[in-house]
Amino acid sequence: MKEIKEEIYKLVKLLNKYSYDYYVEDNPQISDTEYDTLYKQLEKLEKEYPELIQENSPTQRVGDVVLSEFEKVTHKVPMLSLSNTFSTEDLRDFDNRIKKVVANRKIEYICELKIDGLAISINYVNGKLISAATRGDGTVGEEVTDNIKTIFSIPKVLKDNKTFEVRGEVYLPKKSFNILNEERKENNEVLFANPRNAAAGSLRQLDSKITAQRRLSAFIYSVVGDNTIESQLQALKTAEEYELPVNNNYKLCKNIDEVINYIEYWDINRKNLPYEIDGIVIKVNSYSLQEEIGYTQKSPRWATAFKFPEEELATKLLDVELSVGRTGIVTPVAQLDPIVISGSTVSKASLHNKDVIDELDIHIGDMVIVKKAGEIIPKVVRVLKELRLENSEKYIMPNRCPSCNSELVSKKDDPFIRCVNPECPEQNIRKIIHFASRDALNIEGLGDKVVATLYEQGIISHTIDLFSLEREKLIDLDRMGEKSVDNLLKAIENSKNSSLDKVIYALGILNVGKKAAKILAEKYLNLTTLMTATVDELINLPDIGLITAESVIDFLSNEINIKFINDLISIGMNPQYKVQKIEDDNIFSGKTIVLTGKLVELTRNEAKEYLEKLGAKVTGSVTTKTDLVLAGEKAGSKLAKAEQLGIQVISEEEFISMLGEKKVNG
């Protein structure tokens, strides 16, 4: 037992170190495969010896608490906001005010990156994380302890019995944000507008399992309650000493000119960071000087935040268009007088949901401010009400579906409205488009416009109708010649041979993306067995949480969906899933690989499928963890970064040659 205890202790210590290197230092020391192997070894030991599970074990961060609501927490020391500055002149005014209060004293400033996230307070007692709360209004926040414990970069146990409060910022790295939005896109969920909103939404989940899946991280910037600390620099050093996550880009500046130089550097280089920042925080370094300089009612006089300018432009809102998704969510989209933002022409912008429309007080014809949120999704951020015309019409979200005129439904505390009519034309068109899409059954020739035409002409009304299309009716349609019709019918027939995971994904089950579809395929092996699934079975599958499990059961309990699946089975679409047996010694097994550029002999999806069958992990961005980059024609920034990091790069020709050496059975 002593040896087992020592082995668990060493594994916990090593895995926590690797997590720190990965989440805090952004400098992974081992591959994902190596980490996973050690992690599974620890899981196995903990399962056999549950009495030896350590509180700071990485396995204890999965999240398992569901709350009915958040408890309110009063901060012992208020979490004040900072005043903002926007120009060099503002900074020099700030510096002059400081000098007047503490004349003839040496003033040093410490500059830190202003992370675009959610402020958090964490309490450690005798070295253990006992509570955490959001900033809230600065005086009262929300208790989110169980959610904070899911964040790998935050230690649950310190290296000694220290008691203090630390404050920092919870954020979502750019990579995690992109992965999260890609998953939401696959599941036909509304995308997050930017990493900050995603971080806030993730941290404020009542179910900590959801928080655990969101890949949040954090930086600590303050220590409260330690009277031995005399400066902000010392506070950061203390946090580092206790292996708390500290952003190491801080700098001690001797004067305001050095502060300005620091700001100018990061204004240029912030795009290279793996997380979003929206400015620089400047603080007087000395705590004794801070106390002498004092506070206003809302903020400290000894600190300020310099905010980077965002590219925001004004334009006219011409109309609001409503889009109905395949799951029934009705999304409002602003139709704009076109403008160019960040090098691209923008004529539409997100209005997200009815709550956003009410908050902005949208009127048709308003002059609105538009920006690219996180340089990704254009959105309307405010209305220039002073320019509003007297006869302008306030926009009211409709209570009937724009596609089928059915009454729209909204749930309590849900900002989204939905059409629940299973015969809604727009929903059915979207479902058919999804069914035929590249990541689903990949029916070539059945694009969005063709599907819409077939539906509007009354040739199809449900997805299953695709398999009874008549050649003569198709040839009569505009732009559908004999060859294209024959090719389409052949593609539809060939789709019956799709793998089970593709078929499950094509069903369009809410919250079931490509990854979840593959997990379901591996578990149930065919559609017939899938229809017998239970919640208890589903929640015990890897990466299938309660929300996804309930979505699957809801789908399989619906009579229309049951008929659809049975119809698919009756036409011969009930593939048996073949579990791939991979020999661990093939040249791609366990490797992290990035695809970039245009491939000629293979599609990107084909190359990805080959690699995944061989045990490789295909990711979207080049990092120090990348083992190999497959570069096709016109490869751009990813190729340049790979060369900069010294990562092996192969051509498509080399890749095809290497595939000849693969060792895959089954």
Q: Which of 62-66, 278-282, 597-601, 652-656 has the weakest average pLDDT?
A: 62-66
Evaluated on CA atoms 605, 664, 622, 40, the torsion sign reads positive
Which ranges in 24-124 belong to alpha helices (H)? 32-48, 88-101
| Residue pair 94/140 in contact by the 8 Å Cβ criterion | no
DSSP SS3 for 532: coil
pLDDT for 344 equals 66
Radius of gyration of the chain (CA): 28
| Residue pair 404/425 in contact by the 8 Å Cβ criterion | yes
Residues sharing a CB contact under 8 Å with residue 51, sequence separation 6 or more, in sequence order: none
Per-residue pLDDT reduced to its tens digit, 495-509: 999 999 999 999 999
101/314: higher pLDDT: 101
Please give the C-alpha separations between residue 73 and each of 21, 145, 169, 205, in angstroms, as whole numbers: 32, 11, 17, 17
Nearest CA-CA partner of 468 in 568, 558, 574: 568
pLDDT at 666 over 50: no
Please give the C-alpha separations between residue 586 and each of 166, 465, 583, 665, in angstroms, as whole numbers: 47, 43, 6, 11
Residue 541 known to bind ligand = no
pLDDT at 28 over 70: no
pLDDT for 580 equals 60
φ, ψ of residue 578 in degrees (nearest 5): -105, 115
C-alpha–C-alpha distance, residues 524 and 532, integer Å: 9
How far is CA 592 from its chain centroid?
20
In 55-108, beta strands by DSSP E: 72-74, 84-85
User: What mean pLDDT comes out for the span 31-56?
Assistant: 76
| Residue pair 186/108 in contact by the 8 Å Cβ criterion | no
pLDDT at 67 over 50: no
φ, ψ of residue 609 in degrees (nearest 5): -65, -40
* DSSP structural state of residue 157: B
Please give the C-alpha separations between residue 322 and each of 187, 401, 427, 561, in angstroms, as whole numbers: 19, 9, 13, 26
C-alpha–C-alpha distance, residues 562 and 558, integer Å: 6
**Both tokens assigned to 251:** 């700098």
Nearest CA-CA partner of 88 in 257, 275, 268: 257
Q: Residue 326, Cβ neighbours under 10 Å: how many? A: 19
Residue 156 known to bind ligand = no
C-alpha–C-alpha distance, residues 251 and 281, integer Å: 11
Residue 82 known to bind ligand = yes
pLDDT for 30 equals 62
Q: Which of 70-79, 369-378, 529-538 has the weakest average pLDDT?
A: 369-378
| Residue pair 619/643 in contact by the 8 Å Cβ criterion | no
Which is the catalytic residue, given 106, 114, 385, 496? 114
User: What mean pLDDT comes out for the span 286-297?
Assistant: 89
pLDDT for 66 equals 45
Range among 45-59, 233-247, 297-311, 596-610 rated most confident: 233-247
Task: Please name the amino acid found at residue 562.
Answer: I
pLDDT at 47 over 50: yes
Nearest CA-CA partner of 452 in 489, 471, 477, 486: 477
Residue 350 known to bind ligand = no
> pLDDT class for 255, splitting at 50, 70, 90?
very high
663/504: higher pLDDT: 504
Indicate the helix (H) or strand (E) that contains 225.
none
**Starting at the edge strand that comes first in sequence, how are the strands of the sheet with 109-115 ordered?**
84-85, 303-307, 277-284, 109-115, 251-253
Name the pairing type of β-strands 303-307 and 84-85.
Answer: parallel
Q: For the purposes of burial, counting CB atoms within 10 Å of the CB of 344, is it exposed (0-12), middle (13-18) or buried (19 or more)?
A: exposed
C-alpha–C-alpha distance, residues 269 and 654, integer Å: 35
φ, ψ of residue 478 in degrees (nearest 5): -65, 140
Residue 167 known to bind ligand = no
pLDDT at 457 over 80: yes
pLDDT for 107 equals 94
Q: Which of 15-29, 39-53, 447-461 has the weakest average pLDDT?
A: 15-29
C-alpha–C-alpha distance, residues 569 and 161, integer Å: 62
Residue 34 known to bind ligand = yes
Per-residue pLDDT reduced to its tens digit, 181-209: 888 777 767 777 678 778 888 888 877 88
pLDDT at 665 over 50: no
Residue 59 known to bind ligand = no
287/660: higher pLDDT: 287
* DSSP structural state of residue 83: -
With b for 16 or more beta-carbon neighbours within 10 A and e for fewer, the 626-650 pattern comes to bbbbbbbeebeebbebbeeeebebe
C-alpha–C-alpha distance, residues 7 and 205, integer Å: 35
Residue 97 known to bind ligand = no
| Residue pair 135/222 in contact by the 8 Å Cβ criterion | no
Residue 283 known to bind ligand = yes
Per-residue pLDDT reduced to its tens digit, 92-140: 999 999 999 998 889 999 999 999 888 999 999 999 999 999 888 788 8
pLDDT at 304 over 70: yes
Residue 49 known to bind ligand = no
| Residue pair 372/350 in contact by the 8 Å Cβ criterion | no
C-alpha–C-alpha distance, residues 222 and 283, integer Å: 11
Residue 577 known to bind ligand = no
> pLDDT class for 25, splitting at 50, 70, 90?
low
> pLDDT class for 80, splitting at 50, 70, 90?
confident
**Both tokens assigned to 161:** 């019995």
Residue 111 known to bind ligand = no
Average pLDDT, the chain: 85
Residues sharing a CB contact under 8 Å with residue 177, sequence separation 6 or more, in sequence order: 192, 194, 195, 198, 374
First CA to last CA distance, the chain: 41
Per-residue pLDDT reduced to its tens digit, 465-489: 999 998 888 888 877 888 889 999 9
pLDDT for 343 equals 56
C-alpha–C-alpha distance, residues 84 and 305, integer Å: 5
pLDDT at 316 over 90: no
DSSP SS3 for 319: strand
166/343: higher pLDDT: 166
pLDDT at 38 over 50: yes
Identify whether 617 is a catalytic site residue. Answer: no
C-alpha–C-alpha distance, residues 507 and 555, integer Å: 9
Nearest CA-CA partner of 354 in 325, 378, 331: 331
pLDDT for 209 equals 81
* DSSP structural state of residue 580: P
Evaluated on CA atoms 305, 311, 317, 322, the torsion sign reads negative
pLDDT above 70: percentage of residues in the chain: 91
Nearest 5°: CA angle at 468, between 466 and 474? 75
Per-residue pLDDT reduced to its tens digit, 381-420: 888 887 888 888 899 988 899 999 999 998 776 778 889 8
Range among 294-303, 462-471, 636-645, 649-658 rated most confident: 462-471
Residue 567 known to bind ligand = no
